[in-house]
């Protein structure tokens, strides 16, 4: 069987970003959390102390012994993408990369001292050259941002929660931390998607990759505009009950929903921020030490305020009404849970939503 997933594509010049700081592409919520953590005195020391407890060494040995390490003689096309991604984002030390046998498409970047990137065979077989380039850039973005450390902690705590599930309240305490880390990690995925776009510099390829992850290798049956319409329908549809269900559905996930990721990435690609980076105007790593935690939190708060104001989600609209001092909040809450349009009919007519 001939594998057409990695057909040669015309080489093209890509813009390189010397000394780029991860702050250039980080989602505001992700960035403010990372800046605050990096500013904590002794933060690095604490995590180094935890390294004896975390399974990093075990994971490295596992992938070394039971996966294929990417290099000049193994998965050479992936090795070229990895080196290219590190060159574009100016990551001096190229992380080790492994391909592991798993039919489910996936990739991750983990590690405390040195990040390692792992991609599954399912992902390698699913994506074409340019789509895979965006994924490799995504994982290199995780490495540059320092996400690998927190992802390793999340894996460790998730496993710990399973082991202490029988201890009264023990699992509750651990899962509270895991839930918070997952919320941060979902935002970090939006950051890494942006890094993938900076590496690939091909929005269509990034969109195709996300569509394939959602619907498989059937691009002839899919359409980018229709896929993005799903994201809009997901955000705006339903009433407050659906908003609550959305929250419950996303809580156990480490990644945002694929349609949401596609919509977020397209919005950023069309923004002035993305164009400024391409033009060479971006924060440098040499300036990271001077970054203000207050400014980062202020930017994050501004982002969330804008999100609430422009969101079409029923719950976010209600939050906006409350923040704006809207009257008759009890009535609005009742109407929106009942799916009413607010005209006073409510659900008492017997024709409410099922």
| CB crowding 243-258: b at 16 or more within 10 Å, else e | beebeeeeeeebbbbb
Q: How far is CA 47 from CA 42, 135, 170, 335, in A?
A: 9, 27, 22, 49
Distance in angstroms (rounded) separating the CA atoms of residues 200 and 257: 22
DSSP bridge partners of 273: none
The pLDDT profile of the chain, 354 residues, written as one tens digit per residue, is 444 444 444 356 899 999 999 999 988 877 766 666 556 555 555 555 555 555 566 677 778 788 999 999 999 999 999 999 999 999 999 999 999 999 999 999 988 778 999 999 999 999 999 999 999 999 999 999 888 877 776 666 666 655 555 555 455 555 665 666 667 777 888 999 999 999 999 999 999 999 999 999 989 999 999 988 888 876 765 544 444 444 444 444 555 678 889 988 999 999 999 999 999 999 999 988 776 555 555 565 455 445 545 545 444 444 444 445 444 544 544 454 445 444 444 444 444 445
Q: Provide the sign of the torsion angle of the four alpha carbons 270, 272, 273, 274, taken in this order.
A: positive
Query: Which residues form the catalytic set?
Result: 139
* In contact, 139 and 192? CB cutoff 8 Å: yes
Contacting residues for 83 by C-beta, under 8 A, at least 6 apart: 94
Question: Distance between CA atoms of 187 and 205, rounded to whole angstroms?
Answer: 21
**Phi and psi at residue 188, to the nearest 5°:** -65, -30
Distance of CA 99 to the CA centre of its chain: 21
Q: C-alpha angle with apex 187: 182 to 192, nearest 5 degrees?
A: 115
87 touches 95 (CB < 8 A): no
Question: Rounded CA gap, 22 and 141, in Å?
Answer: 7
Q: What is the CB-side half-sphere exposure of residue 308 using CA atoms within 13 A? A: 14
pLDDT at 185: 74
What is the three-class DSSP state of 68? Answer: strand
* Strand arrangement, sheet containing 107-110: 68-69, 96-100, 116-120, 107-110
The phi and psi torsions of 25 (rounded to 5 degrees) equal -120, 0
The rounded distance, in Å, linking the Cα atoms of 280 and 214 is 33
Residue that is written with structure tokens 């939050």 in the block: 319
Dihedral Cα 254, 256, 258, 263, nearest 10 deg: -160
- Match 């998965």 to its residue by tokens: 75
Q: How far apart are the first and last CA of the chain?
A: 50
Question: How many H-runs (helices) and E-runs (strands) does the chain carry?
Answer: 16, 4
- Which residues neighbour 152 within 8 Å (Cβ) at sequence distance 6 or greater? 54, 56, 59, 110, 111, 112
Helix (H) or strand (E) holding 346: none
Percent of the chain as helix, strand, coil, to the nearest 5: 60, 5, 30
User: Are residues 118 and 98 in contact, defined by beta-carbon separation less than 8 angstroms?
Assistant: yes
pLDDT for 1: 40
């Amino acid at each position: 069987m001939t594998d057409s997933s990695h057909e040669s594509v015309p080489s093209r010049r890509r813009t390189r970003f010397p000394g780029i700081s991860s702050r250039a592409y980080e989602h505001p919520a992700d960035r403010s959390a990372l800046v605050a953590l990096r500013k904590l005195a002794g933060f690095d020391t604490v995590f180094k102390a935890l390294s004896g407890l975390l399974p990093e060494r075990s994971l490295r040995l596992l992938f070394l012994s039971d996966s294929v390490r990417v290099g000049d003689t193994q998965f050479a096309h992936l090795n070229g993408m990895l080196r290219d991604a590190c060159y574009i984002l100016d990551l001096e030390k190229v992380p080790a990369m492994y391909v592991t046998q798993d039919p489910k498409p996936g990739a991750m970047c983990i590690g405390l001292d040195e990040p390692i990137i792992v991609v599954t065979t399912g992902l390698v077989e699913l994506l074409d050259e340019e789509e895979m380039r965006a994924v490799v850039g995504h994982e290199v973005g995780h490495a540059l941002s320092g996400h690998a450390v927190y992802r390793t902690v999340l894996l460790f705590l998730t496993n710990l929660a399973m082991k202490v599930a029988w201890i009264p309240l023990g699992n509750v305490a651990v899962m509270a931390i895991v839930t918070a880390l997952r919320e941060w990690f979902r935002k970090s995925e939006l950051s890494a998607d942006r890094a993938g776009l900076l590496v690939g510099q091909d929005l269509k390829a990034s969109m195709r990759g996300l569509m394939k992850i959602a619907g498989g290798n059937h691009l002839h049956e899919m359409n980018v505009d229709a896929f993005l319409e799903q994201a809009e329908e997901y955000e705006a549809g339903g009433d407050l009950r659906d908003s609550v269900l959305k929250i419950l559905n996303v809580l156990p996930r480490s990644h945002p929903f694929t349609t949401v990721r596609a919509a977020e990435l397209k919005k950023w690609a069309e923004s002035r921020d993305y164009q400024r980076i391409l033009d060479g105007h971006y924060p440098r790593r040499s300036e990271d030490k001077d970054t203000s935690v207050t400014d980062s939190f202020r930017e994050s708060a501004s982002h969330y305020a804008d999100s609430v104001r422009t969101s079409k989600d029923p719950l976010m609209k209600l939050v906006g009404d409350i923040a704006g001092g809207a009257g008759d909040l009890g009535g609005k809450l009742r109407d929106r849970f009942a799916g009413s349009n607010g005209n006073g009919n409510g659900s008492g007519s017997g024709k409410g939503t099922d």
